[in-house]
Amino acid sequence: MPRYEFVKGSSSKFWEIELSGNSYTTIYGKIGTDGKSTTKDFKDAETAKKKYEAIIKSKVKKGYALVGDVAPDVESSEASFAPENKELEQAIFNDRDDAQAWQVFGDWLQGEGDPRGEAIALSFNNDGGKLKKLIATYEQSWLGDLYESYEKCKGHDDKYFKPETVIDWKHGFMEHARIAADHEDTRGETKLKALLALPAARFLHSLTIGLYVADSSNGYSGIAERLKGKLPMLRHLFVGDFVYPDETEMSWSEMEPIDGFLNAFPHLHSLRVRSGNMSVKGSLDHAELRSLIIESGGVGAAITKKVGSAKLPKLENLELWTGQEDYGGYGPLSDYAPLLAGETCPNLKHLRFKNAEQADDFVNVLAESALLPQLETVDLSMGMFTPRGARRLIEHKAKYAHLTSLDVSECCLGEDVIKDLKKHFGAKVINAVEQNAEISYAEWDEAVNDAEDEDELNDMLLDMDCYTQVGE
């Protein structure tokens, strides 16, 4: 039930109202008391709603302010849209946190009769109640063809079943959007096309694209071309936010060349892609990128070589899921030579080499690199990191000692191995939750002694449930 309060001088009152069919109920009184309740009935629901809205307006006019997170029901209204003002918009593109630039733009929008101008004013006046009501009034008009899906998905979100359409607002414009295909519209491109046509998406800062094709194999063809030249304010892009394995398997997903996304957005700060089949047509060089995350069950040799040679001067976070040889494979660790030599990513602080069959060997390669001293965190989680890799970490303890975090979660380590790592690196440094296979030092040594070669050892590890977390 929406609650309004009036606090001025000696007055400290509240007023609540709830609409139900052809009546509404109000509760009112001094703040801190239960108040009194009255119900008014009308001839029909339409009349009740009109009276409901009229009395809310009357209370607000008298100085009552909406409190809490619940906005009242309001009639949807058509919004007028001002034409683009490239000069004022450019000031926001230059610095999206510039309050003055937003307020000047808001004043101009109000002068043009565009309600987004009022939304900007309410944002900077910290009048959350009125802002929620204003957005509720114009949401349908602002979202156009996306509104029906957005309204259906409101309030529905959990770990395994993500809503197809999510919109977060800031200053009367879309701040973040998530779109995905559903069973009624099996192709996400319909929603993407609708999104790109919206004036309210002009300042979109973050875009997530979920399951894109829901009627067989999941594909992401043509997205970069559709996005090119659009969404000039976009800084964060995630393509492939499907729920694994509830919506699709990793290996069923086909990604277009991922450098296309970087080329489409020269000012992008973070790119995250998830797919079983990926490629790079040109290079992954990018002047502004701060975070690059590539998730796959088998990333492919072409990708590892491109990652290793990519010139990313502002990159701080690199996360690569190399996956399994049986699901697309990966290149040799020598592919990362330019990166490990410190030639390509001078600002890299967080290196996440995850979901990797090469995790044990990577420990030695990284230890001998020029890159390791500049890193703050190393993540080897979700991979075939075994007691052999743990021993190598301890052997190179002096070179890894400066790290603030060393993640070996969801790997293949027994309790004795984890305890040993924490003894050498500290419990605050080692993160080792949820092991896929708890292989002790003794079990590892026995497997090594019994195996005739590396292939047989790998077969024995699979028998002990030692594998990458994500394969197909």
pLDDT tens, residue by residue, 294-347:
999 999 999 999 999 999 999 999 999 999 998 888 999 999 999 999 999 999
Quickly tell me which residue has 């069950």 as its tokens.
297
pLDDT class of 74 with cuts at 50, 70, 90: low
pLDDT in tens, 177-200: 999 997 667 788 899 999 999 999
Give me the residue spans of the domains in the chain. 3-67, 86-140
| 3-67 CATH choice from 3.20.20.370, 2.20.140.10, 2.60.120.260, 3.30.70.260 | 2.20.140.10
| Mean pLDDT, the chain, integer | 91
pLDDT class of 205 with cuts at 50, 70, 90: very high
Give dist(CA 380, CA 389) in Å, integer.
10
Give dist(CA 465, CA 408) in Å, integer.
16
At residue 157, does pLDDT exceed 80?
no
* Token pair listed for 442: 């003794």
Taking alpha carbons only, the member of 182, 160, 157 closest to residue 168 is 157
Between strands 236-239 and 206-209, the pairing is: parallel
Give me the sign of the Cα torsion angle 322, 327, 328, 332: positive
Mean pLDDT of 275-282: 93
Quickly tell me which residue has 């701060």 as its tokens.
290
The reported pTM is 0.83
Between strands 65-67 and 3-8, the pairing is: antiparallel
Of the listed ranges 67-76, 128-137, 442-451, the one predicted with least confidence: 67-76
pLDDT in tens, 230-249: 999 999 999 999 987 778 88
Taking alpha carbons only, the member of 251, 312, 308, 311 closest to residue 277 is 251
At residue 158, the pLDDT reads 55
At residue 402, does pLDDT exceed 90?
yes
Mean pLDDT of 154-182: 83
At residue 35, does pLDDT exceed 90?
no
At residue 19, does pLDDT exceed 70?
yes
At residue 68, the pLDDT reads 60
Q: Of 38-52, 70-84, 349-363, which has the strongest mean pLDDT? A: 349-363
- Taking a C-beta distance cutoff of 8 angstroms, is the pair 271, 249 a contact? no
pLDDT class of 18 with cuts at 50, 70, 90: confident
At residue 441, does pLDDT exceed 70?
yes
Does residue 408 sit in helix, strand or coil? coil
At residue 12, does pLDDT exceed 90?
no
Element (H, E) at 236: strand 236-239
At residue 31, the pLDDT reads 87
At residue 412, does pLDDT exceed 90?
yes
Give dist(CA 375, CA 404) in Å, integer.
9
328 φ/ψ angles, rounded to the nearest 5 degrees: 105, -25
